[in-house]
Amino acid sequence: MNRIKHIIAIASGKGGVGKSTTAVNLALALRAEGLEVGLLDADIYGPSQQKMLGIEEGVKPEQKDGQWLLPIEAHGLKTMSMGFLASERTPMVWRGPMAGGALVQMLEQTLWGELDVLVIDMPPGTGDIQLTLSQKATVAGAVIVTTPQDIALLDARKGIEMFNKVNVPILGIIENMAVHICSQCGHAEHIFGNAGGERVASDYGVELLASLPLALSIREQTDSGNPTVVAAPDSPEAGLYRDAARKVRAALEQAEGPGGVRQFPNISISDD
């Protein structure tokens, strides 16, 4: 773990706001900026990064010395996911402590190697996984993903408040599905509301990292295993992800300061 410079959490207060899509594209955008990047799918109950990265079902991580997992590489990212350890049809019918234990195992027992950034795709909400991560690792910051409608913004605020309580800085907000542009006539319509992410960012004094459109291409590319940043690197959508990655990188470098890399705590794992 001490070979990882920064851990960032990609989180949302509720599901369905495009958090996992944002996580994979942001990780790839950071990679495109020249960083060594890992991606941990911490959504234990609903892992999706395996499909988004185009990794075939049945691919399992190799082991080393009977206790370490070797990350699976895809599009230049070092990845680990519960999706690699169970089939697509296997539900994780686990209580919170079991899910937390799975997160710790993937985080601590994966041989990540030298990483500039480890991006963690968090499950939605403010539950056990979020608390486990904040207790077991030094998280450099969190990116909150939301959509513009009031219900999503309400839950996004709860996510921000949770990270504030555990002393994890908020690196910024990414707003998904901000505007729909008709492919036939070019008319722009704010289906889910207007400037919601900007209002929340202003209320909490954090940066709005990006405002992504409701674009069919983002969904199609991610579903096919070629996320937008690698499938269409010159597209306006990929440019927005790249801009967000540059802002995140700048925030990490500023937080690091003259003292160098933040140190991770020693972690011990026991049966209880």
Tell me the whole-structure pTM to 2 decimals.
0.88
Bridge-based pairing state of the strands 77-81 and 115-121: unpaired
Among the residues of 33-95, which ranges form H helices?
49-52
On the question of pLDDT at 6 being above 90, the answer is yes
CATH topology for the 5-256 domain = Rossmann fold (3.40.50)
Q: Which two structure tokens, joined as six digits, stand for 222?
A: 């991610």
Candidate from 95-99, 105-109, 160-164, 228-232 with smallest mean pLDDT: 95-99
Q: Tell me the range of 92-96, 111-115, 147-151, 193-197 where mean pLDDT is highest.
A: 111-115
Tens digits of residue pLDDT in 32-50: 999 999 999 988 887 889 9
Burial degree of 107 (CB within 10 A; 0-12, 13-18, 19+): buried
Average pLDDT of the chain is 86
Q: For the chain, how many residues are written?
A: 272
pLDDT value at position 137? 85
Average pLDDT over residues 233-257: 91
Strands, E assignment, 108-200: 115-121, 141-146, 170-175, 180-181, 188-189
249: Cβ contacts below 8 Å, ≥ 6 apart? 30, 33, 35
Rg (CA), the chain: 18
65 phi-psi bin (left φ>0, alpha ψ -120 to 50, beta other): left
Question: Is 71 in contact with 115 (CB distance < 8 Å)?
Answer: no
Residue corresponding to tokens 């470098």: 253
- Tokens representing 149 are 């409608």
Smallest CA-to-CA distance from 82 within 58, 108, 54, 103 is with 103
Q: 183, 257, 170, 251: which is closest to 213 by C-alpha?
A: 183
Are 41 and 83 in contact by the 8 Å Cβ rule? The answer is yes
Pairing of β 141-146 and β 4-11: parallel
Domain ranges of the chain: 5-256
Tens-digit pLDDT profile for residues 199-238: 999 999 999 999 999 999 999 999 999 999 999 999 999 9
Whether residue 143 contacts residue 10, with contact meaning beta carbons closer than 8 Å, is answered with yes
Of 94, 77, 75, nearest in space to 85 by CA? 94
